[in-house]
Amino acid sequence: MQLSDVVSAGRRRWWVVVIGVLFSFAAAYGAYVTTPPTYEATATVLLLPPRVAVEEGDNPLLQLGGLNDAVDVLVLELSSQDLRKRVERMQPDASYEVVNEPSTSSPVLLLTTRDVTSEGALQVRDELLATTPQSLAGLQSKITTSSEEQITSRVVSSDKIAEPVGRDRARSALIAFVGAGVLTLIALSLVDGALRRRTARRAAGPGHRARRGTPPVGPPPVAGHTPGGHDGRLSPPPPDRDEAPAPPDRARLAAPGPEAALTTSPTHHEQDQRIPQP
């Protein structure tokens, strides 16, 4: 169905469109209400250079260069399947994401946790904050055992309250609204087609259904008119009713019928007179 056909059908069956729009909004609202909200908590972790790399009295924040590579390695470590399974056992509906903070060029980790409850999001966030220094120390222990030569971490910020985010609820409402709109278009097409067919049958008359499929009946045969055969020749035209009737056949008039034979046959008396006497 083309767009012009849909517009025309909508104008004819405007009540279907109104019902469909109301149904779409109701479906979107129901999906938004029934979808549980998602709570999100974030935290940022800064990597600091080893103590041996910072002279006494210097500010370690001024010597953060070269630590971005360590951030990338730590992101891979915190995104491992083992840690994700541990978080899933802790909170089955929780999820988390660990990335390099995109808003700064410093070696900062951004931890984002999500759960259907505020407590679950905060619990997973705290677990990640506790795991980060352990994972960082475990990676460096394979290279050096001296704590003075290892990179350390420090929590920069951490949310005290998990805030609800409406992305999932809005996504569910949008999907429900689009689905109800598609169903409205399908219903509009079906209703418009059915009503148009019923209108066409009414306009054709009550005998339209009985005549449909019945072969056409020709005029009754005329006496003296032989219908044409299958030899391709045309049959003779029927006689004109205005012409005078043909005169009776003389042979038929001359032929005596049974009554004439009775009237013309000689009697016994006449036969006796015709027989000569000896």
Taken as a whole, the chain contains a residue count of 278
Q: What is the pLDDT of residue 251?
A: 46
Q: What is the pLDDT of residue 204?
A: 79
130-146 tens-digit pLDDT? 999 999 988 888 777 67
Q: What is the pLDDT of residue 114?
A: 93
> What residues of the chain score a pLDDT lower than 70?
1, 145, 205-278
d(CA 19, CA 161): 42
User: Cβ distance 162 to 121 under 8 Å?
Assistant: yes
C-beta atoms surrounding 117 within 10 Å: 16
Q: List CB contacts of 97: < 8 A, sequence separation 6 or more.
A: 111, 112
Q: Given 3-state DSSP classes, what are the helix, strand and coil percentages for the chain, each rounded to the nearest 5?
A: 55, 15, 35
